[in-house]
Amino acid sequence: MNTNTYKKDFSNIGIRMLISTAAIILLQIGAQTFALTLFPEWQDNFNILFAVTMVPLYVLGFPISFALMRNKDVPIIEKHHMSAGQLVVAFLITYGLMITGNLIGLSLTAGISLIKGSPVQNALLNVITGGSIWVTAIFTVLCAPVFEEILFRKLVCDKVIKYGEGCAVMLSGLIFGLFHMNFNQFFYAFFLGSFFAFVYVKTGNLKYTILLHMVINFFGSVLGGVLLQLDKTKPSTAIISAVYSLCVFGMAIAGIVILIVKRRTMTLKPGEIVIEKGQRFKTVILNAGMALYCLVFLGIMVVQAFFS
pLDDT at position 288 is 95
What pLDDT, in 10s, does the model give residues 30-60? 999 999 999 999 988 888 988 999 999 999 9
**d(Cα 292, Cα 231) in Å, to the nearest integer?**
46
Classified as helix, coil or strand, 268 is coil
What is the DSSP code string of 52-83?
Answer: HHHHHIIIIIHHHHHHHT--SSPPPPPP----
Burial of 229 (0-12, 13-18, 19+ CB in 10 A): middle
User: CB under 8 Å, gap of 24 or more: what pairs does 102-109 form?
Assistant: 102/187, 102/188, 104/187, 104/188, 105/183, 105/184, 105/185, 105/186, 105/187, 105/188, 106/184, 108/183, 108/187, 109/183, 109/184, 109/305
What is the overall mean pLDDT for the chain? 91
Q: pLDDT category, 159, cuts 50, 70, 90? A: very high
What pLDDT, in 10s, does the model give residues 171-211? 999 999 999 999 999 999 999 999 999 999 999 999 999 99
Contact 118, 112 (CB under 8 A): no
pLDDT at position 77 is 87
State the average pLDDT over residues 95-112.
Answer: 95
Please state the separation of Cα 67 from the chain's center in Å.
20
**d(Cα 177, Cα 142) in Å, to the nearest integer?**
20
For the chain, what's the residue count? 308
Single pTM value for the model: 0.94
Q: pLDDT category, 1, cuts 50, 70, 90? A: low
Contact 188, 98 (CB under 8 A): yes
pLDDT at position 240 is 85
pLDDT at position 260 is 96
157: left (phi over 0), alpha (psi -120 to 50) or beta: alpha
Could you tell me which of 292, 287, 291 has the C-alpha nearest to residue 6? 287
129 compared with 286, residue with greater pLDDT: 286
- Residues with Cβ within 8 Å of residue 298, at least 6 apart in sequence: 178
